[in-house]
C-alpha cells in the first residue's frame, strides 16, 4: 500500500528535481523561511532601534548591509521584512485560491445560468486594473497589513476560477465521475471527493506564482507609502527610505531590491517546475 501511494510522489519528485532552476528556487525559498524564522538569532540588533551615532554607515563586519538614515541595521530590517512579505504573500494567495476554487468548481460543475453569471462576474472583475483598484480601496481605508492581504486576495481570484472551471469541465464527463453519479453519490460528494482532488494541480501552480505577485504588489504599495507603515520593516518601505539617499547610500536600495528580486524569481522558478512536473505532456 505504501509503495503504491509513494509511486506517484516519487515520479513527481523525479520530474521536479530534474529541473535544476526549480530546485534552486525551492532551496532559496526554504532558506528565506529559515532566515525569517530565525531573525532574532541571526542579528544582535532590533529592526526599529534608532542609533544616532551610526547613521548611514556603509556595509561592514558590524553592519553587513550598512545602516539607514536613523542608524538602524539594514540587514536586520531586510530579514524581518521577509516575514511581512511572506505573510502577505501566503495569506493573500490563500484568500484568492479559496474564492477562485469555489467559484470555478460550482461554475464548471453546474453550468447553465450559474456558470454564465459567475463567468460574467469574472469578466467584470478582470476589466478593472487590479493595482489601481487596490490603490483606490486602500486610499479610503487606514493603511494596514491586514487590509493589504485581504484586498490583494479579493482582487486576485479570477485566474484561479478560470483554471478550476476548465479542469472541472474536463473532469465531470470522466468515467469515475459518471460511476459515482450512478452509485448515487451526492453533488457535494462528487465535487469535493472526486473532482476537487483531481483539479488541484493547476491551482497549486497558480498559487505558487501568485505568491510572487502578491509580494511584488505589497512591496509596491509600501514603496508608495500606503502599505506597511514604519517602523514595521517591509522591503517596500526600506526602498522608500533609500530613494532619498541613493546617490551616496546605495546599500539602502540595493539589498531590499535584491531580496525582492531573488524571492519573486524563486517562486516563479518553483511555479514553472511544478507546472512541468504535474503535466506529463510537457515531458
Query: Per-residue pLDDT tens for 6-27?
Result: 566 788 888 888 889 999 999 9
**At CA 99, angle to CA 95 and CA 101, rounded to 5?**
115
**What is the pLDDT averaged over residues 203-215?**
89
161/183: higher pLDDT: 161
Q: What is the pLDDT of residue 149?
A: 87
Q: Which residue is associated with the grid cell 524571492?
A: 263
Query: What digits encode the pLDDT tens for the residues 228-241?
Result: 887 888 898 888 88
- Check pLDDT > 50 for residue 253: yes
Q: What is the pLDDT of residue 38?
A: 86
- Check pLDDT > 70 for residue 125: yes
End-to-end CA distance of the chain: 27
Q: What is the pLDDT of residue 106?
A: 92
pTM given for the model? 0.86
- Check pLDDT > 50 for residue 123: yes
Which of 238, 259, 264 has the alpha carbon at shortest distance from 249?
238
Hey, is 67 helix, strand or coil? Answer: strand
231 upstream amide cis, omega within 30 of 0: yes
pLDDT tier, 95 (very low <50, low <70, confident <90, very high otherwise): very high
For the chain, the average pLDDT equals 86
Amino acid at each position: 500500500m505504501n509503495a503504491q501511494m509513494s509511486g506517484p510522489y516519487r515520479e513527481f519528485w523525479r520530474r521536479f528535481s530534474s529541473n535544476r532552476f526549480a530546485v534552486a528556487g525551492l532551496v532559496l525559498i526554504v532558506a528565506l523561511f529559515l532566515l525569517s524564522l530565525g531573525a532574532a538569532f541571526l542579528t544582535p540588533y532590533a529592526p526599529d532601534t534608532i542609533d544616532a551615532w551610526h547613521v548611514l554607515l556603509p556595509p561592514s563586519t558590524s553592519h553587513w548591509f550598512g545602516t539607514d538614515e536613523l542608524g538602524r541595521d539594514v540587514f536586520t530590517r531586510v530579514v524581518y521584512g521577509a516575514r511581512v512579505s511572506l505573510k502577505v504573500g501566503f495569506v493573500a494567495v490563500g484568500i484568492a485560491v479559496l474564492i477562485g476554487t469555489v467559484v470555478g468548481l460550482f461554475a464548471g460543475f453546474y453550468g447553465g445560468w450559474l456558470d454564465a453569471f459567475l463567468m460574467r462576474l469574472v469578466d467584470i472583475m478582470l476589466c478593472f486594473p487590479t493595482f489601481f483598484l487596490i490603490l483606490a480601496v486602500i486610499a479610503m481605508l487606514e493603511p494596514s497589513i491586514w487590509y493589504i492581504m485581504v484586498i490583494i486576495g479579493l482582487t486576485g481570484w479570477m485566474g484561479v476560477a478560470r483554471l478550476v472551471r476548465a479542469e472541472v469541465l474536463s473532469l465531470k464527463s470522466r468515467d469515475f465521475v459518471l460511476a459515482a453519479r450512478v452509485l448515487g453519490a451526492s453533488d457535494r460528494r462528487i465535487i469535493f471527493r472526486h473532482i476537487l482532488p483531481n483539479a488541484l494541480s493547476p491551482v497549486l501552480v497558480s498559487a505558487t506564482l501568485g505568491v510572487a505577485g502578491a509580494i511584488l504588489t505589497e512591496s509596491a504599495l509600501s514603496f508608495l507609502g500606503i502599505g506597511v507603515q514604519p517602523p514595521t520593516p517591509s522591503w517596500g518601505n526600506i526602498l522608500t527610505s533609500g530613494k532619498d539617499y541613493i546617490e551616496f547610500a546605495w546599500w539602502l536600495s540595493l539589498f531590499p531590491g535584491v531580496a525582492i528580486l531573488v524571492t519573486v524569481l524563486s517562486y516563479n522558478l518553483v511555479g514553472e517546475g511544478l507546472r512541468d512536473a504535474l503535466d506529463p505532456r510537457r515531458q
